[in-house]
C-alpha cells in the first residue's frame, strides 16, 4: 500500500469526516474532471495529424447500482497511465493545494472549503471506497487505483477495452445523522447534474426509467428504460444574442429562480477583450421581500467554463447594484480557487468593473429611452442608489448621480438632476430642495414660497436618505445644492432691506419672543422669504431641520 502525501492526507481526512455540508458537489467535481479529460482528447485531435474527433464517441455516463451501492462516473477522455494515477490522485493537484494550504493555516480547518472546487477527493464525502479504472489513450494496458481512505492506495493492472476512465464510488452506509441513499437515486443524481453541470459541453448520459403512454393503445402505459442525455450542453449565454428572444431570457430568469417577477431588462455580455467572459444579467421589476434587510445577500452565479463554482459571488457586484441578478461564466477562472483568493483575483476584479459599467450604461439608456420602465425600476431600487451615493464617503457618487430622480415642484413628477440644471434660468445660482415627509406637506411649507415666486424649481426630498445623498453630491454641474430652509437663500431681493428694517423696528417684540421660546429656538428674526405665512422655522449652518431630526432619532 502506498501512502498519500501528508497534505493530501489532511484534505482526505476532512472529506471523510465531511466537515463540508454541501456534499452533493462531489458529482460536479467528478464530472468536471471527466469533461477536462475529454477536452484533452479534443485538443489532441485538433493538434495531432491523422486524428479526428468524432463527437459521438465522447460522452460521460453516470450509472447507479443500488444493490451493490455503487455509483460510477465513466468518461471516454484521455485516461491515465499508472504514473499519472500515482501523481494525480496520490497528491492533490498543485492549483488547489496551494490555496488550500494557505487557508488551513489561517483557519485551522473549519469552514475552509467554501463552495469551491475541492477536486477528486470530494468523492470521499459520500464514498467509503473509491476505485478508478483507467486506460490512457494509446496504451495497451489499463490500471486500477483503489483506496478506502486516508491509510493509502494501491495501483494494479486491470482490464478495460477503450481509453477513458471509470470512477467507481462505493456509497457510504447511512448513519443516524446522515443518509447517503440519495446518491443512488436516479432522480436525485439527475437533479444534481442539472443544477451544477447542465452546461458541460459533452453529453452526460444516464439510464432513465419511467412510464409513458403506449403509442398504439390509448389509455395504456408501458415501462421503459432508456439512455438519456441529462444536460442541455449549450448554455444560453454562449448563444448568439441575435438567436435569442426576450422570452428566452425570461424563461432563463424563471428557470434559475432569480425571481418570480418578470425582469424589467436583461443585459447579455460577450466580452473578449482583456478578460474573456459571458454574462447574462437582469434588472428585476420588484423589490425582493427581504431586499432592504440584513438577510439579503447580493451576488451573481459564477461559472468557470460552464461549471458552476459559486451560487452567489458577491464580489461581482457593488452594493448599490445589489439588486442585479444573473450569472457570469469565464474561462479565465480556475475551478480550484478558494473564496479568499477569488476576492483578490485580478480577472474577477476586471469582470466586476466591466459589469458595473454595463449596468450603469444600461440604466442610463433606460432613463433616456424608456422612462416608464426606468421609473418602475426607480420606485423599487432608487433608495439603494441613494444609499450608494452616500455610503463610502461618496466615492461612487459620479457613477450614480445621473441615475437619481427627485420630485419636482414645477413638473409635478420625477426629474433627474440633469433635467433640473438644463432648464435653470440664468440668474439662478443654486439647485433648491425642500425636505418633508410627503409631497403634500412640502407643498404647504412656507419656506418654499420665495423660491417658487422667483420661478425657480424645487426638488422635493421625501425620504430620509435623500438629503444625506444630496449633501454628499454637494455640487452638480457646478451648481451647489441649497435647502429652501437654509438661512441664506442666495436670492437678491427687496425683501432683504425690508426685513432688516422690521428687525430694527420691532426689536423689543423679537427679544420678548426669544425669551419665551428660550431653549427651543436659537434666535427669532424677521424673515425675508415669507409671503403669505406669518412664521417659519429655519436652520443655520450645515444641518437642516430634517437632518437634525433624523440624526437625533438614530441610536447612538
Ligand atoms: P484538478 O481537476 O483541479 O486538476 P482534481 O483533484 O479534480 O484536481 O483532479 C486531479 C487530477 O487527476 C486532474 O488534474 C487529472 O490530471 C486527473 N484526473 C482526475 N479525474 C480524471 C479523469 N476522469 N480522467 C483523466 N484524468 C483525471
Ligand atoms: Mg477537478
CA 60 – ligand 1 centroid, Å: 14
The answer to whether the CB of 120 is under 6 A from ligand 1 is yes
**Which residue bears the cell 451647489?**
480
Per-residue model confidence (pLDDT) at position 44: 82
**For residues 167 and 69, is the Cβ–Cβ distance under 8 A?**
no
Take atom 18 of ligand 1 and give the residue whose Cα is closest.
33
Q: What angle do CA 429, 434, 439 make, to 5 degrees?
A: 135
C-alpha–C-alpha distance, residues 45 and 53, integer Å = 6
- CB neighbourhood size of 361 (10 A): 11
Per-residue model confidence (pLDDT) at position 111: 37
> How are beta strands 325-330 and 300-304 bridged, if at all?
parallel
Q: Locate 524 and state its grid cell.
A: 427669532
Any residues with CB less than 8 A from the CB of 462 and at least 6 apart, and which? Answer: 407, 435, 436, 437, 438, 439, 442
Residue of 251, 260, 314, 265 lying closest to 287 (CA atoms): 260
> How are beta strands 325-330 and 307-313 bridged, if at all?
unpaired
Its pTM surpasses 0.90: no
Ligand at minimal distance from the CA of 95 is 1
Q: What angle do CA 182, 184, 188 make, to 5 degrees?
A: 50
Backbone angles phi, psi at 165, to 5 degrees: -140, 135
C-alpha–C-alpha distance, residues 550 and 544, integer Å = 10
- Mapping DSSP onto H, E and C, the string for 356-415 reads HHHHHHHHHHHHHHCHHHHHHHHHHHHHHHHHHHHHHHHCCHHHHHHHCEEEECCCCCEE
CA 28 – ligand 2 centroid, Å: 9
Per-residue model confidence (pLDDT) at position 338: 65
Atom of ligand 1 nearest to the CA of 121: 6
Distances (CA, A) of 392 to 268, 318, 398, 469: 29, 11, 13, 11
CA 93 – ligand 1 centroid, Å: 8
Q: Which helix (H) or strand (E) holds 253?
A: helix 246-255
Atom of ligand 1 nearest to the CA of 95: 3
* DSSP assignment string, 178-210: ---GGGG-HHHHHHHHHHHHTT-SS-EEEEEEE
Residue of 111, 120, 126, 121 lying closest to 338 (CA atoms): 111
Angle between helices 371-390 and 346-369 (to 10 degrees): 130
Decide: residue 308, CB within 10 A, 0-12 exposed, 13-18 middle, 19+ buried.
buried
Each residue's pLDDT expressed in tens, for the chain with a length of 556 residues? 898 888 778 778 877 776 666 789 899 989 999 998 998 888 788 778 888 888 889 999 999 999 999 999 999 999 999 999 998 897 654 444 344 444 444 443 333 343 344 689 889 999 999 999 999 999 999 999 999 998 899 999 999 999 999 999 999 999 998 899 999 999 999 999 988 888 888 999 999 988 889 888 888 999 999 999 999 888 889 989 998 999 889 888 987 888 878 899 999 999 988 889 999 999 999 998 889 888 899 999 998 887 777 889 999 999 999 999 999 999 877 766 666 677 778 889 999 999 999 999 999 999 999 999 999 999 999 999 999 999 988 899 999 999 999 999 999 999 999 999 999 999 999 999 999 999 999 998 888 888 998 899 999 999 989 999 999 999 999 999 999 988 777 776 655 666 667 777 778 888 888 888 888 888 887 776 677 777 777 776 666 666 666 666 665 4
Per-residue model confidence (pLDDT) at position 18: 63
Specify the 3-state DSSP secondary structure of 546: helix
> How are beta strands 307-313 and 300-304 bridged, if at all?
antiparallel
Q: What angle do CA 251, 194, 335 make, to 5 degrees?
A: 110
**For residues 190 and 230, is the Cβ–Cβ distance under 8 A?**
yes
Ligand at minimal distance from the CA of 11 is 1
**Which residue bears the cell 438644463?**
422
C-alpha–C-alpha distance, residues 360 and 219, integer Å = 56
Q: Which protein residues have a CB closer than 5 Å to ligand 2 (ion)?
A: 33, 119
The answer to whether the CB of 93 is under 6 A from ligand 1 is yes
Take atom 16 of ligand 1 and give the residue whose Cα is closest.
88
Ligand at minimal distance from the CA of 92 is 1
CA 179 – ligand 1 centroid, Å: 27
C-alpha–C-alpha distance, residues 344 and 346, integer Å = 6
Ligand at minimal distance from the CA of 123 is 1
Residue of 393, 388, 392 lying closest to 404 (CA atoms): 388
Distances (CA, A) of 516 to 263, 326, 521, 537, 547: 59, 62, 10, 16, 25
Per-residue model confidence (pLDDT) at position 316: 96
C-alpha–C-alpha distance, residues 115 and 304, integer Å = 13
C-alpha–C-alpha distance, residues 480 and 482, integer Å = 6
Amino acid at each position: 500500500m502506498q501512502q498519500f502525501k501528508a497534505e493530501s492526507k489532511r484534505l482526505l481526512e476532512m472529506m471523510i469526516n465531511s466537515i463540508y455540508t454541501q456534499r452533493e458537489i462531489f458529482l460536479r467535481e467528478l464530472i468536471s474532471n471527466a469533461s477536462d479529460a475529454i477536452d484533452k482528447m479534443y485538443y489532441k485531435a485538433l493538434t495531432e495529424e491523422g486524428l479526428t474527433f468524432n463527437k459521438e464517441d465522447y460522452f460521460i455516463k453516470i450509472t447507479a447500482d443500488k444493490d451493490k451501492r455503487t455509483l460510477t462516473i465513466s468518461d471516454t477522455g484521455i485516461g491515465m497511465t499508472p504514473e499519472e494515477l500515482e501523481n494525480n490522485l496520490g497528491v492533490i493537484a498543485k492549483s488547489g493545494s496551494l490555496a488550500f494550504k494557505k487557508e488551513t493555516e489561517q483557519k485551522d480547518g473549519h469552514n475552509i472549503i467554501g463552495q469551491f472546487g475541492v477536486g477528486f477527493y470530494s468523492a470521499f464525502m459520500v464514498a467509503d471506497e473509491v476505485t478508478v479504472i483507467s486506460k490512457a489513450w494509446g496504451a495497451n494496458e489499463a490500471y486500477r487505483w483503489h483506496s478506502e481512505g486516508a491509510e493509502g492506495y494501491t495501483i494494479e493492472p486491470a482490464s478495460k477495452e477503450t481509453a477513458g476512465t471509470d470512477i467507481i464510488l462505493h456509497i457510504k452506509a447511512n448513519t443516524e445523522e446522515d443518509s447517503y441513499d440519495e446518491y443512488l437515486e436516479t432522480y436525485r443524481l439527475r437533479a444534481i447534474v442539472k443544477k451544477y453541470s447542465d452546461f458541460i459541453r459533452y453529453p452526460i448520459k444516464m439510464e432513465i426509467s419511467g412510464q409513458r403512454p403506449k403509442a398504439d393503445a390509448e389509455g395504456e402505459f408501458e415501462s421503459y428504460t432508456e439512455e438519456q442525455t441529462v444536460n442541455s450542453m449549450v448554455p444560453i449565454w454562449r448563444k448568439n444574442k441575435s438567436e435569442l428572444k426576450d422570452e428566452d431570457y425570461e424563461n432563463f430568469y424563471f428557470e434559475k429562480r432569480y425571481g418570480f417577477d418578470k425582469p424589467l431588462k436583461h443585459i447579455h455580455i460577450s466580452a473578449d477583450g482583456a478578460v474573456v467572459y459571458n454574462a447574462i444579467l437582469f434588472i428585476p421589476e420588484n423589490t425582493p421581500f427581504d431586499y432592504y434587510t440584513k438577510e439579503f445577500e447580493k451576488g451573481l452565479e459564477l461559472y468557470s467554463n460552464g461549471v458552476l463554482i459559486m451560487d452567489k459571488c458577491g464580489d461581482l457586484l457593488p452594493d448599490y447594484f445589489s439588486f442585479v441578478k444573473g450569472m457570469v461564466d469565464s474561462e479565465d477562472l480556475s475551478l480550484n480557487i478558494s473564496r479568499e483568493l477569488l476576492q483578490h483575483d485580478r480577472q474577477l476584479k476586471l469582470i466586476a468593473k466591466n459589469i458595473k459599467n454595463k449596468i450603469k450604461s444600461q440604466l442610463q439608456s433606460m432613463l433616456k429611452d424608456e422612462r416608464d420602465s426606468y421609473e418602475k425600476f426607480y420606485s423599487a431600487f432608487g433608495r439603494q442608489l441613494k444609499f450608494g451615493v452616500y455610503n463610502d464617503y461618496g466615492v461612487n457618487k459620479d457613477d450614480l448621480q445621473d441615475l437619481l430622480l427627485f420630485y419636482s415642484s414645477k413638473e409635478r413628477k420625477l426629474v433627474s438632476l440633469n433635467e433640473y440644471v438644463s432648464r435653470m434660468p440664468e440668474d439662478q445660482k443654486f439647485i433648491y430642495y425642500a425636505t418633508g415627509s410627503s409631497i403634500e406637506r412640502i407643498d404647504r411649507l412656507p419656506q418654499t414660497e420665495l423660491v417658487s415666486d422667483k420661478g425657480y424649481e424645487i426638488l422635493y426630498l421625501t425620504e430620509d436618505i435623500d438629503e444625506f445623498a444630496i449633501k454628499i453630491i454637494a455640487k452638480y454641474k457646478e451648481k451647489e445644492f441649497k435647502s429652501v430652509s437654509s438661512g441664506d437663500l442666495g436670492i437678491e431681493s427687496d425683501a432683504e432691506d425690508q426685513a432688516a428694517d422690521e428687525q430694527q423696528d420691532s426689536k423689543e417684540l423679537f427679544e420678548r419672543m426669544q425669551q419665551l421660546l428660550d431653549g427651543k429656538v436659537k434666535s427669532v428674526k424677521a424673515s425675508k422669504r415669507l409671503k403669505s405665512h406669518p412664521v417659519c422655522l429655519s436652520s443655520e449652518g450645515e444641518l437642516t431641520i430634517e437632518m437634525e431630526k433624523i440624526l437625533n432619532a438614530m441610536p447612538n
